[in-house]
Amino acid sequence: MASGENPTLYRRMGGYDVIAGVIDDFLGRFRSDPKFARFGMGRSLDSIQRARQLIVDQMCALAGGPCLYAGRDMKTSHAGLAITEAEWRANMEYAAAALDKFGIGAREKEEFLEIFRKYKNDIVEKP
Ligand code: HEM
């Protein structure tokens, strides 16, 4: 159950709106960093919004919320993007900053970042 003595990360973070807000803030940091411009080039607004929604769905589902992730696996969806270690580090910093902005507690912040970390080897291709 989502309530009781062991509430899910989803509940402890504050539910869907908070998770969606964290992801939007996180993606906003990406978009305003020129180092990440190559990832937004040539993509329609709809494609960008679709990817945003899939990330929200994925994090909502993995945090124990009532969402379904219907996207591709992380290796398939990032293969060929040549994502580097440095880009990964910036990605983690942006995620941490977004979580801080929403006042997410230390335990929840760590659990959220740990979900991201588990995908690192599927996402990063270059040293
Ligand atoms: C340096 C870090 C990252 C970069 C540069 C990046 C970049 C991208 C790009 C460009 C796409 C669109 C691919 C396409 O439309 O073909 C994408 C899709 C996606 N990314 Fe990332 N990503 C990063 C990290 C992450 C992380 C940490 C997560 C969450 C665990 C994530 C979740 C997703 C999801 C769910 C999609 C959509 C998958 C689908 O279309 O089925 N990404 N990413």
Tens of pLDDT, residue by residue over 21-34, are 999 999 999 999 99
Q: Is residue 114 part of a domain?
A: yes
Question: Which atom in ligand 1 lies closest to the alpha carbon of residue 30?
Answer: 5
CATH of the domain at 108: 1.10.490.10
Q: Is residue 4 part of a domain?
A: no
Residue type, 28: G
Spatial distance between the Cα atoms of 112 and 58, rounded to a whole number of angstroms: 12
Spatial distance between the Cα atoms of 41 and 38, rounded to a whole number of angstroms: 5
For 52, other C-beta atoms within 10 Å of its C-beta total 15
Q: In terms of residue numbers, what domain contains 32? A: 10-123
Atom 32 in ligand 1: residue holding the nearest Cα: 55
Q: Is residue 76 part of a domain?
A: yes
42-95 pLDDT, tens per residue? 999 999 999 999 999 999 999 999 999 999 999 999 999 999 999 999 999 999
Q: Is residue 2 part of a domain?
A: no
Question: Which atom in ligand 1 lies closest to the alpha carbon of residue 69?
Answer: 35
> Can you give 51-118 as a three-state secondary structure string?
HHHHHHHHHHHHCCCCCCCCCCCHHHHHCCCCCEHHHHHHHHHHHHHHHHHCCCCHHHHHHHHHHHHH
pTM value is 0.95
pLDDT of 56 reads: 98
Q: Is residue 5 part of a domain?
A: no
Ligand 1: residues whose CB is within 6 Å? Answer: 39, 47, 51, 54-55, 58, 71-72, 77-78, 81, 83, 87-88, 91, 116, 119, 123
pLDDT of 2 reads: 47
> Ligand 1 pocket test: which of 118, 123, 125, 126 has the largest number of ligand atoms within 8 Å of its C-beta?
123
**CA of residue 78 to ligand 1 center, whole Å:** 6
**CA of residue 14 to ligand 1 center, whole Å:** 24
Q: Is residue 3 part of a domain?
A: no
**How many independent structural domains does the chain possess?**
1
